């Protein structure tokens, strides 16, 4: 009976040590990310993404600029 209690205590200590180590590692990662985010204040502006169509079109199909139905209004009609 005593060996079961001793084994359970050792297992608890081992698991709590692993949990403490993991939490400390996560905290250091979080602190490093915050420090890096604070250091990078002059980030390059991102390019504006083009407007996407409201519906999916087959691969290889391109919209002609002279097509009067190239807007999303025709998709709803």
pLDDT, one tens digit per residue, over 42-62 is: 556 677 777 776 676 666 666
Mean pLDDT score across all residues of the chain: 77
d(CA 23, CA 19): 6
* pTM beyond 0.75, yes or no: no
* Helix H or strand E encompassing 17: helix 2-39
User: What's the rounded mean pLDDT across residues 31-37?
Assistant: 90
- Span 3-22, mean pLDDT? 93
**More confident of the two residues 29 and 73:** 29
As given in the structure block, the two tokens for residue 22 are 């993991």
């Amino acid at each position: 009976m005593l060996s079961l209690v001793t084994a359970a205590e050792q297992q608890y200590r081992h698991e709590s040590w692993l949990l403490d180590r993991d939490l400390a590692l996560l905290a250091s990662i979080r602190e490093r990310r915050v420090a890096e985010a604070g250091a990078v204040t002059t980030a390059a502006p991102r390019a504006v993404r083009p407007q996407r169509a409201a519906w999916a079109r087959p691969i290889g199909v391109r919209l002609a600029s002279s097509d009067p139905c190239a807007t999303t209004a025709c998709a709803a009609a």
